[in-house]
Amino acid sequence: MGTLSEIDAHTGLYAVFGDPVGHSLSPAIHNRAFHETGHNGVYVALRVRDIEAAVAAVRSLSLRGVSITVPHKTAVIPFLDHVDATAQAIGAVNTIVNQDGCLRGYNTDAPAAVQALKDLVSLAGRKVAILGAGGAARAVGFGLAAEKVPIVVVNRTRSRGKELAQRLGAGFEAIEDYQPADDTILINTTPVGMWPQVDAVPFPPERLKPGMVVMDIIYNPLHSRLLEEAVARGCPTLNGVPMFVYQGALQFKLWTEQEAPLSVMRQVVTDALDNAASGNGQRSPSERGPQ
């Protein structure tokens, strides 16, 4: 909704549940999308520590849709009525749709990551290396596994990396041993390099090769140290903004059954990050690309 005067008894309530959540850009993109499409809705950020109680509130207050972010993406699952097969396989839900009291859980991070990559490069004939083995790595991995792309999980902790690799039907390499091929798409799903530790890199830059594509799901800073090193070596690069926007757009469509205004949502994110960077220090989201 554009102004408070437009909020009425028919306004649908939407929210993001997380802890912390005050920094989230989701209210900005969704409220702008509601305004642009004329959808009578308002979206707020709610700090939630007790996810079971929060889901009960979704039912009692008839919230129409909810974004779920850290640390609740897995913990929320037992309290939902139905979980989409993709979200079930990933083990994480980032979207709740309230369909007449039936709460359905989805994961829009996985298809968002795939679409962001496809906008930059063809996946045909490529190999993918996923840095990390956490929740974001699972979402990205399952999305790409559905595309039948060969995947290797690259992680410092061998036990976690091997566990994810087994779930994906992928290979595993310890980060200290991994040497990427020229046709590799390298995707950082770890928080290494996120503001304020902007000089950190999750992978040795000297191993990057000109034929590689490098994606970092971090969007603060917009150009991480990893991406800067990749550009210097002639690699096409992708930051976390497209993935973040796509996952939000897919949420919007699930909630409203309308196509999301992608270009407007993307501009909201880049303007917010540019404004924060030019002010008194950069905004510091605890999230990366997804939610």
- Phi and psi torsions of 197, nearest 5°: -85, 60
Closest to 108 in 3D by CA, of 266, 241, 250 = 250
Answer yes or no: 73 catalytic: yes
CA distance 79 to 161: 28
- 83 forms bridges with which residues in the sheet? 105
73, 118, 148, 253: the active-site residue: 73
CA distance 105 to 86: 10
Dihedral through CA 67, CA 68, CA 69, CA 73, nearest 10?
-150
CA distance 91 to 135: 8
CA distance 182 to 188: 17
What letter would DSSP give residue 11? P
135's tokens: 């929740």
Q: Which residues are catalytic?
A: 73
